[in-house]
Amino acid sequence: MNYWRSKLAAPLPTLDLPADRPRPPQQTFRGAKYLCEIPEEIAARIEALSKAEKCTLSTTLLAAFKTLLFRYTGQEDVIVGSPAANRGRVELERLIGFFANTIVLRDDLSGNPTFRDLLRRVHRTALEAQAYQHVPFDALVEELHPARDLSHTPFFQTMFVLQSFEIHDTRMGDIRYQPLDAHTGTAKFDQTWELFRTPRGLLCSIEYNTDLFDEATIRRMAGHYQTLLTGIAAQPGAHLSDYTILTDAERHQILVEWNRTEAAYPLDQCVHQLVEAQAERTPDAVALIFGEEQMTYRELNQRANQLAHYLKQCGVTPNMLVGIHLDRSFEMLIGLLGILKAGGVYLPLDPAFPTERLHFMADDAQISVLVTQTSLQTTFASSRQTIHIICVDADWPKIAEYPDTMPVTSTTSEQLCYILYTSGSTGKPKGVQITHRNFVNFLCAMQKQPGIQPTDVLLAVTTLSFDIAGLELFLPLISGARIVLARKEDTYDGSRLLHYFQHAGITMMQATPVSWRLLIAAGWDGTPAVKALCGGEALPYDLKQQLIGKTSSLWNMYGPTETTIWSTVDQVLPTEDVITIGRPIANTQMYILDRHFQPVPVGILGDLYIGGEGVSPGYFHRPELSQERFLANPFNGDQEARIYRTGDLARYRADGRIEFFGRSDFQVKIRGYRIELGEIETVLAKHPAILEVVVVARGDADHPQLAAYIVFAEQKIATEQELRDWLKRDVPDYMIPATFTFLSAMPLTPNGKVDRRALPDPERQAALQEETFAPPRTALERQIAEVWAEAFGMFFVGIHDNFFLLGGQSLLAMQVAAKLSVALRQPVNVRLLFQHPTIAKLAAALETLPAQEIAEPPACCQAQPPERPAAAEQPAASAELFTFEHRPLLSLYAVGKLPPCDAVALDYLTEGLIRKTGLEATELIDRWCQHLPTLYNISDTPWGRIGYVMLPFTDTELFGRHAELLESAADAIETARLLGARTVAFTGLLAFATNYCRDMQPLLAGRANLPSITTGHGAISSAYILNLQAILQQSGRQIAEERVAFIDLGSLGGSVLRLMLRIVGHPAEILLCDLPHRAASLETMRRDIIERFDFQGDIRIVALTPEQINEAYAATLFISAFQIAGLLDIGKVQPGALIVGPACFEQAALLTRLQERGDLLATVGGVVRLPSPIRESAYRPRALEQHLTSGILEEFNAKGDSHDLPSCAFSSLLSSCVPGIAPTVGEVDEQDALPYYEALQRLECQGTALHVGNTPISPEIIQSFRQRFGRGEK
């Protein structure tokens, strides 16, 4: 055991093979088998190599297999399982029996060894493991306690074995015998590779988990193994990275076919020449609209020509850098074109940037001419450079005297067009150089795909310092289209963006996901004519679903600044679940390579490199960095060709499209801006108080935030505000961390590097803020501070803390504005937050608002909410109890039209509901939920309000889109927090689909003030008991006389059974009915029932298999938590049976038997009847009025009438509002469920009136049944 303890010391790696589907939270065992043959020629050469290296064929094949795993995953610590005969003792050698054991083979592949070196390592490991093969595998698990994960087996996930016998065909006379390959349809591990020696070579049998892998993936993997063996046989002394694993056909497809993007374009033209040509074609067409004014192509071209002549007179020569420092305006576009027409290279200097950063850029670029405006001209007054400043507003009278014809220059397409500074890892930004040829190729490619027409109107929203602005400003101008230039303050206000869409005839917009969300959050219902381009950050799935239904087409764009804006494009289709970045644009090549510069196969993650016409000449005055990032193209015969190392991870799909998987280095994107974390670290490290600093990106994918971790030098300290001020001198606002966490020391990895994964969740350090923290002084400031603190998950916020420096962004600003409108009982426009970003300034601004803007608050916003009426005071049931709202309930809540919720229940769509609406699932989700978690119903009970939030998933999708489900559920929990809920219930299959909420923890870690989570098992178990008591009472039966079949004894059925034994009593017999794999658990439960409850009756275990299932029909009482209809046949149930929880039967057949024969009774299990009716408010868009009737919604909630409430939803309210009731998650014991049962009794709740679905069972049927089959008191 000491050997194994040392060999398998933590941390143990998990083999991360690229799969076709996400790994389920609980390991599944559905499998298939793939067979292939490795030719005799290869097998013989591998055997010869084994003999030469004095090892077995099995060891060589295993070493090759580990090489394949290394090349697939990049993991250097590889563990594989293998069977061992375990006959090492003499007395076992001649004994008949099966003594095989599983051994664990762990090898170190670090250092890129040669195959011979690896073979020696694997051989040594195999010999050591064989020496200790007698230690049972189960004993290893029990003794070493590996970290357990239900999603995979302990220690290893892949098995490899070479069988010691050869497979031969055998003949007896005329009869030929050959082995039959039988497969059970299961897989014990992710993959099991079993090899057999045959006369034709090696037979390879690969058993694989079909929930992870497709056959095509396994087929490719087997082909790569054969290619690898061929290379090893030819060159056993080569390093592991030198072997190719791609077949010749694959290599040609990946490197040549998928990069065949050649297309003609005017490679000798400059950008401004294309604009000039368009102006000649359509001189009177409108080129640009800004505010209430517009400018034609002729006017734009002529004014740019005049500026160009003036710039030449000021000394601008070809390839000379000219700074442009202008607010968004006509003059900005005139300035850009004027600089290019004069032969210059424009350098955007964003007015929003800090002065120090602008000075660095101007000095680094050595600009001597600056195009600006009067209000901004002092920015460079203290610059070290001598700069000729041209103010286009004040100097225009002089400029207007120059000719309006195109000036003559010697500019060529090989010269620079612009330089754009991006974040740099050394602490200073770096200038990316883009030539006219780069830019013209890009614009021509965009004309074709996604395409633009002269009739298009493009809304330009991007700042000039962001490279994607190049598309917005120049693509329309070379195509005869129209630009609507949004004002700066409008670009981060969703309501203002919406105004453009409503009044400016917009047909095209390019924006980051954040900007698209702003527009949607402002109430944009969609514009059918709009072509949506989304880029700058990864396109989230939920946003894709929303945009698909609101636009004519949606395009996902990808590309770094260094390869000219966008390098790939993909039209996103509604039928596709996977979002890709598509294929390369014209004259562009994409390469996905491993760390050793080898192309990776389809499906394998690698580093993304880009080649072609868009690749920049390099960084301005940074030859070392250029040499590091712009590399010679090894796949192109042109020695001058370069490829750019993006630092992004990606993989090919089988159709050649590319999936993006984020950064491989420490570069991130925040609000669309690419940021080198090292630049922020370098600036902070210069602070005299700081000893060490690390900056990371935290938060979810949609709203990442920067977090700084600081270790101070001895006897030195700084406040958070001081560090923010220090940074603001050199970096723009978007590069200032949202949080600063102060540590005594950085966590380290074993090799002494900072362990970024071990950094704690960000904290605000109150003690270190005391010098600058100012508490609220007035009631208004206190109210604002409370809303901000909740939004940021902080205990306090100072009145001088800046909303955006705390981590606020546009979408959060809209949410905060809505919450403030409710809390303050007056409208708060989001623009106020941008204009007055501190509490002190915002409060002062709000106090100056005209009195007429302050509305009388609704009742729900009073300081003391009205008391809820007692149960007896509730109104009688009527149609008024169920009302519909055509506007989203969440928006009504945000403006104070609906009160807060005490609890929230998460829900999903069922196939049954979808069928009843007559709509397709995607159409219903789009119209009802807009592919977002949606508050669709509120139940008002005597004890509080429950909000129902619909996740945009059907019951058939819950397990197939696991990662998306978790993200959606996390968003729904945030929604519940905004609604004021204290507990959130995961109803129905959501509990199982999220591994009883355990899978939610990584997504929720670090988020403050979230509601508690419950799966409601305590309340559901109690509801089953109430309904059991009700059906026994109404049927005139006693539990002691019943033969009870419990169907599905999983996380719920066991607690119902035990609670029945404790409260209702002991039946005559118990049938424990479940799937065969739970036999051991059922036996444990059987013994527990006998021992704990002194049960005297019979207890039988019935496997729900075709052979045994008929035994279940002997029951007189069925209690089922099983949710799959048709498991049991209602026709086989004996007359007089009672059913609690009828979902395991076909509902239609059950109702038919009830109505025609009346020889059984049934009722729901997990619903309770309240003593008074429930008021319901439901969200039903007008487009769904004919599809979502009150009857359908009531059936969806399993409601027999207005008194009924699903117990799982009720559990969230009970644990929120009833003292002594704690939320339960997952399986509960009867001790945990009992407080719920007692609470329901105290609240006078009962079992429901007998019903199936929303069909009540008539009193006549019940009375007839009682007379025929009742055996208790009549």
1235-1264 pLDDT tens trace? 899 889 988 999 999 988 778 899 999 999
Q: Which of 465-479, 819-833, 1056-1070, 1164-1178 has the lowest mean pLDDT?
A: 819-833
Structure tokens at 571: 């039209």
154 phi-psi bin (left φ>0, alpha ψ -120 to 50, beta other): beta
Instruction: List, for residues 763-777, the tens digit of each pLDDT value.
Output: 444 333 433 557 788
Which percentage of the chain shows pLDDT scores above 90?
48
Q: Where are any strands of DSSP class E within 887-1025?
A: 903-909, 934-941, 944-954, 983-986, 1012-1014
DSSP tag of 176: E
Q: Mean pLDDT lowest for which of 20-34, 241-255, 1142-1156, 1219-1233?
A: 1219-1233
Rounded average pLDDT over 577-594: 95
Report d(CA 1274, CA 923) in Å as an integer: 52
pLDDT digits (tens, 9 = 90+) for 431-441: 999 999 999 99
Pairing type for strands 430-435 and 618-619 reads antiparallel
Q: Are 1059 and 1070 in contact (CB under 8 A)?
A: no
Cα separation, 776 vs 796, whole angstroms: 10
Distances (CA, A) of 11 to 128, 154, 189: 20, 12, 21
pLDDT tens-digit readout, 1080-1110? 888 888 998 998 899 999 999 998 888 888 9
User: 3-state SS string over 226-274?
Assistant: HHHHHHHHHCCCCEHHHCCCCCHHHHHHHHCHHHCCCCCCCCCCCHHHH
Both tokens of 365, joined, read 């670029």
Give the pLDDT band (50/70/90) at residue 151. confident
pLDDT value of position 894: 59
Tokens for 57, please give them: 């064929």
Average pLDDT rounded to a whole number, residues 657-677: 74
Cβ–Cβ < 8 Å for 798, 774: yes
* Cα-Cα-Cα-Cα dihedral sign, residues 663, 666, 667, 668: positive
Domain 779-850, architecture per CATH: Orthogonal Bundle (1.10)
Whether the pLDDT of residue 876 is over 50: the answer is no
Q: How confident is the model at residue 875 (pLDDT cuts 50, 70, 90)?
A: very low
Q: Is the pLDDT of residue 598 over 50?
A: yes
**Structure token digits, residue 1029:** 């008591």
**Torsion angles phi and psi, residue 236, rounded to 5:** -70, -15
What kind of fold does domain 585-663 have according to CATH?
Luciferase; domain 3 (2.30.38)
Chain center to CA of 95: 56
Cis check: omega of the bond before 900, within 30 degrees of 0: no
Q: Return the structure tokens found at 773.
A: 């923290």
Say whether 374 sits in a helix, a strand or coil: helix
Which run of H or of E encompasses 695? Answer: strand 690-698
Residue with tokens 């979002």: 579
Question: Could you give the CA distance from residue 751 to residue 682 in angstroms, rounded to a whole number?
Answer: 23
Whether 140 contacts 104, CB under 8 Å:
yes
725 with 733: CB under 8 angstroms?
no
| Most confident stretch, 134-138, 858-862, 1149-1153 | 1149-1153
H helical segments located in 604-653: 623-629
User: Confidence band (pLDDT; 50, 70, 90) for 871?
Assistant: very low
The domain made up of 1018-1171+1229-1269 has a fold known as Rossmann fold (3.40.50)
Q: Where are the domains of the chain?
A: 2-169+180-245, 271-283+290-433, 585-663, 667-769, 779-850, 1018-1171+1229-1269
Per DSSP, helices labelled H in 314-390 are 330-341, 355-365
Classify residue 87 by burial, with Cβ atoms within 10 Å: 0-12, 13-18, 19+.
middle
Structure tokens at 967: 């993200």
User: Does 210 score more than 80 pLDDT?
Assistant: yes
**Cβ distance 571 to 553 under 8 Å?**
yes
DSSP string spanning 63-124?
HHHHHHHHHHH--SEEEEEEEE----SGGGTT--S---EEEEEEEE-TT--BHHHHHHHHHH
Give residue-wise pLDDT tens across range 537-549: 888 887 898 999 8
Q: What is the pLDDT of residue 116?
A: 96
52 vs 513, residue with greater confidence? 52
Give me the pLDDT at residue 815, please: 75
900 CB-near residues (< 8 Å, 6+ apart): 860, 893, 945, 979, 980, 981
Average pLDDT over residues 114-143: 89
Contact 1202, 1010 (CB under 8 A): no
Better-scored residue on pLDDT, 59 or 919: 59
Averaged pLDDT for residues 671-692? 78
> Which H or E element spans position 279?
helix 271-281
Choice among 13-22, 853-862, 978-987 with the minimum mean pLDDT: 853-862
* CA-CA-CA-CA dihedral for 602, 603, 608, 611, to nearest 10: 20
pLDDT of residue 324: 97
Contact 404, 302 (CB under 8 A): yes
Which two three-digit tokens encode residue 777?
């002084």
Structural contact between residues 192 and 65, judged by C-beta atoms closer than 8 angstroms: no
Predicted pLDDT at 1051: 66
Q: Are 617 and 564 in contact (CB under 8 A)?
A: no
Lowest mean pLDDT among 26-40, 73-87, 814-828, 1221-1235: 814-828
Task: Compute the distance between CA of residue 222 and CA of residue 797 in angstroms, rounded to an integer.
Answer: 59
Q: Are 913 and 1209 in contact (CB under 8 A)?
A: no
Cα(157)–Cα(1105) distance, integer angstroms: 29
CA dist 237 and 116 (Å) reads 6
pLDDT tens-digit map of 795-838? 567 888 888 767 676 567 767 887 887 778 777 877 688 778 88
| Across 151-164, average pLDDT | 87
Whether 416 has a pLDDT exceeding 60, the answer reads yes
CATH superfamily, region 667-769: ANL, C-terminal domain (3.30.300.30)
Phi, psi of 245 (to 5 degrees): -115, -10
H or E element, residue 607: strand 606-612
Per the listing, tokens 């570069």 go with: 667
Closest CA to 1214 of 874, 903, 869: 903
CA distance 488 to 412: 33
CA distances for 81 relative to 55, 65, 134, 141, 148, angstroms = 19, 12, 15, 13, 17
At residue 853, the pLDDT reads 38
CA distance 511 to 472: 10
Whether 1018-1171+1229-1269 and 271-283+290-433 are alike in CATH topology: the answer is yes
> How high is the pLDDT of residue 225?
97
Statement: residue 232 has pLDDT above 60 = yes
Nearest Cα neighbor of 272 from 250, 296, 247, 300 is: 300
> So what's the pLDDT on residue 811?
60
The per-residue pLDDT for 489 is 86
Homologous superfamily assigned to 2-169+180-245:
Nonribosomal peptide synthetase, condensation domain (3.30.559.30)
Correct CATH for 271-283+290-433 of 3.50.50.60, 3.40.50.980, 2.115.10.20, 1.10.3720.10: 3.40.50.980
Q: What average pLDDT does the structure give for the chain?
A: 85
**pLDDT of 51 strictly over 60:** yes
The tokens for 651 are 């993989």
Helix (H, G, I), strand (E, B) or coil at 541: helix
| Residue that is written with structure tokens 């397409």 in the block | 413
**C-alpha distances in angstroms, 517 versus 812, 875, 976?**
11, 42, 19
CB of 1194 closer than 8 Å to CB of 931: no
The CA–CA distances, whole Å, from 941 to 339, 1019, 1124, 1218, 1248 equal 69, 16, 30, 13, 16
882: enclosing H helix or E strand: strand 882-885
The pLDDT, as a whole number, for residue 287 is 97
Residue 552: closest CA among 504, 508, 521: 508
Please say if the pLDDT value at position 107 is more than 50: yes
In the beta sheet, which residues pair with residue 82?
A: 103
In 3D space, the residue among 243, 217, 222, 219 whose CA is nearest the CA of residue 232 turns out to be: 243
- Cα separation, 202 vs 36, in Å, equals 9
DSSP state of 1249: P
Strand order of the sheet with strand 705-712? 690-698, 705-712, 739-743
Question: Cα–Cα distance between 33 and 27 in angstroms, integer?
Answer: 18
**Percent of the chain topping pLDDT 70:** 88
Residue 1065 pLDDT exceeds 60: yes
Average pLDDT over residues 954-960: 81
Whole-number pLDDT of residue 92 = 55
Taking the alpha carbons at both ends of the chain, their separation in whole angstroms is: 68
Bridge partners of 532, per DSSP, are 509, 554
Provide the pLDDT for residue 862: 29
pLDDT value at residue 1193: 63
What are the phi and psi torsion angles at 47 (to 5°)? -60, -45
Contact 1246, 1033 (CB under 8 A): no
Q: Report CA torsion sign: 326, 329, 332, 335.
A: negative
The answer to whether 390 and 314 are in contact (CB under 8 A) is: yes
CB 189, CB 156: distance < 8 Å: yes
Q: In this predicted model, what pLDDT tens digit does every residue of 692-741 receive, in sequence order?
A: 888 988 876 556 788 999 988 777 778 888 898 888 887 777 788 988 88
pLDDT for 477 equals: 98
Per-residue pLDDT tens for 274-286? 999 999 999 999 9
